[in-house]
Structure formats: C-alpha cells, structure tokens
Chain A
Amino acid sequence: MDLALAALLCALGGCVAGLIGVGGGIVFVPAMTIILSKGQVEAEATSLLMIALVSLVGAWRQERYGNVNLRDALLIGLLSPVGVVIGVVAANNLPERALRIGFAILLLYMAGRLLRHVFAPDGADPGGPAPPAGAGAERASDPPSGPAGS
C-alpha cells in the first residue's frame, strides 16, 4: 500500500519534471523518506538514479518536440561537477544557515526575473538580453527576416 502511494507520488513528480524541466528529486526523496521510511542518504542516492532515467526520457521527448539545445546542455552538465566540489567544500566550511539564506535570496531573485518576464507585454522584455544566437530552436512566430518574395 505504501509502495502504491509512493508510486503515485513519483508519477506526479515525473509529470512536474516534464512540465517544468526539473529532475523530480523534490518529490522522489520525500516519497522514499516519509512513505517508505528510507534513510536520507539512501533516498537521495536512489533518487539520483531515478532522476537520471526520468530526465533521459524527458530530454528524449523534448528533443523530439525540438526543444533541446544539446551543446549548451552538455556544457552545463559537464561543468556541474566543479560546482558540486565547490558546494561540498562550502557545506563543510560555511555555516549552513548562511548558505541556505544565500541560496534562498538567489532563488527569490530568479523568481522575480521570471515574474517580470511573465507579466511583460508580448514581444517586449524590458531588461532582458537579446535572444541567443544559435539557440537551436526556430521560432515559428517570428516574422521572416530579409526581403522574402521580392
């Protein structure tokens, strides 16, 4: 029964992962620690395996929809271990409270940027940078560039 409930939660977690492009660990870890009474480390390690498989299928689906910039993804992914090392060293040397507050401020700042983007009128994104060159996605709504048909 507990396993069925955990499975249901993980289905929801997967759905959120696909919808907003996160791994789903936010849901998988508590599903295992709270419902299946797994230890925190075991749950996090197992969650990583699940995240790898879920994000692989999610990335494959998004690739089929034309929504993946593989070059940028590889660059971000391959450089992340540098950050992991920095994170682990920081976790061992700085007060956890300060780290949590620091990251919370970063997340709130990003939330503010996103909300400003959401409520900006279409086609105008004040303060936003120019669209990335070679981002890999053609915008169907963009007007054709150049004197087409002339």
Chain B
Amino acid sequence: MGSRKIWSLAAVGTLAGAFSGLFGVGGGTVIVPMLIALFAYGERLATGTSLAAIVVIAVLAAALHGGIYGKVDLDTGLILTVPAVAGVIVGTAVQQRIPEKAVSLIFSMLLIGVAIEMVVG
C-alpha cells in the first residue's frame, strides 16, 4: 500500500471519528461517500468495508461509554439488537440485488437530509 493511500485512509478514519466525537453518530455517513468518491470503490465494497470499520469504531467507543460512564442500557440494547440484526441481514441481501448506483443515489439523499438537519435542527 502506498504511503499516499495510507494517509488518505488515515484522513477518512480521522474525519469519521471526528464526526462521531462531535455529533454522536457513527462514521459510516463519512466513510462510504469518501471511499466511493475519493478511492473509486464500488458501492458494495465501500459499504462492506465501512461496516467492518464501524465494528472497530463502535467497539472502541462503546467500551469508553460503558466502562467510564456506565450508561449502556444492556437489557434494552440487546432486545432491540435482535430486530436490528435481522434488518441488517435483509438489507445486505437486498443490496446484492439492486444496481450499485442506486446505493449512491440513496446515500446522496441521506447526506442532503443529514446536512439540512445539522443546520436547521
């Protein structure tokens, strides 16, 4: 891997982390479009790689929240995780069956929505 690519990926990770630290949402909103637009990833590869990166980010952040603040509601979290995990299995399966550019289209709508919410909300 070239050093330029490593620095670029470091920038993606840093921006994703900053986004989480600032606004409390995960980094996927930043990671996916950057992988597509800056690294010419296909949509499926970008979203799959983003999910794998989010595992690392969320584990680090959840350990911090759980260990230091003790704020994780374990019962509610686990109950709600069951339908959420079922959803992600369906979502990834559906994604394999739609055109890749549809994912970018959906994502750009999400970005515009989040951007408006950030300024107006």
In the bound complex, how far is the Cα of B65 from the Cα of A42, in angstroms? 9
In the bound complex, how far is the Cα of B19 from the Cα of A87, in angstroms? 7
- Is A81 located at the chain interface by the 8 A CB criterion? yes
Q: Quick check: B106 and A20 within 8 Å, CB to CB?
A: yes
Q: Quick check: A18 and B95 within 8 Å, CB to CB?
A: yes
Q: Quick check: B37 and A117 within 8 Å, CB to CB?
A: yes
- Is A34 located at the chain interface by the 8 A CB criterion? no
Interface secondary structure of B, over-half rule: helix
| Given A11-B86, A15-B88, A135-B41: A80 and B29 interface contact (C-beta under 8 Å) | no
Q: Quick check: B28 and A22 within 8 Å, CB to CB?
A: yes
Q: Quick check: B44 and A65 within 8 Å, CB to CB?
A: yes
* Distance between A82 CB and nearest chain B CB, rounded to angstroms: 5
Q: Quick check: B40 and A25 within 8 Å, CB to CB?
A: no
In the bound complex, how far is the Cα of B117 from the Cα of A39, in angstroms? 20
Interface centre among A36, A58, A85, A129, by most chain B C-beta atoms within 10 angstroms, is A58
| Given A45-B72, A51-B26, A78-B13: A10 and B80 interface contact (C-beta under 8 Å) | yes
Residues of B within 8 A of A38 (CB): 73, 76
Of B12, B37, B76, B91, which one neighbours A76 at CB under 8 angstroms?
A: B12
Q: Quick check: B58 and A42 within 8 Å, CB to CB?
A: no
> Per-residue 0/1 for B44-72: is the Cβ within 8 Å of any A Cβ (1 yes, 0 no)?
11111111111111111110011001011
Residues of B within 8 A of A45 (CB): 62, 65-66, 69, 71-73
> Per-residue 0/1 for A49-93: is the Cβ within 8 Å of any B Cβ (1 yes, 0 no)?
111111111110111010111111111111111111111101100
Residues of B within 8 A of A124 (CB): none
Q: Quick check: A36 and B76 within 8 Å, CB to CB?
A: yes
Interface centre among A18, A24, A87, A135, by most chain B C-beta atoms within 10 angstroms, is A18
Q: Quick check: A82 and B1 within 8 Å, CB to CB?
A: no
Q: Quick check: A50 and B93 within 8 Å, CB to CB?
A: no
In the bound complex, how far is the Cα of B101 from the Cα of A61, in angstroms? 20
Extra contacts, 12 of them, besides A16-B91, A20-B103 (Cβ < 8 A), are A12-B87, A14-B87, A26-B25, A28-B84, A29-B25, A49-B77, A74-B52, A76-B56, A78-B13, A83-B17, A111-B107, A132-B41
**27 residue pairs A–B, Cβ–Cβ below 8 Å:** A10-B80, A22-B28, A24-B26, A31-B80, A38-B73, A51-B54, A51-B58, A52-B54, A52-B55, A53-B81, A54-B81, A61-B88, A68-B45, A71-B1, A76-B49, A79-B13, A80-B14, A82-B14, A83-B20, A85-B17, A86-B21, A90-B18, A107-B111, A108-B112, A114-B36, A115-B108, A137-B44
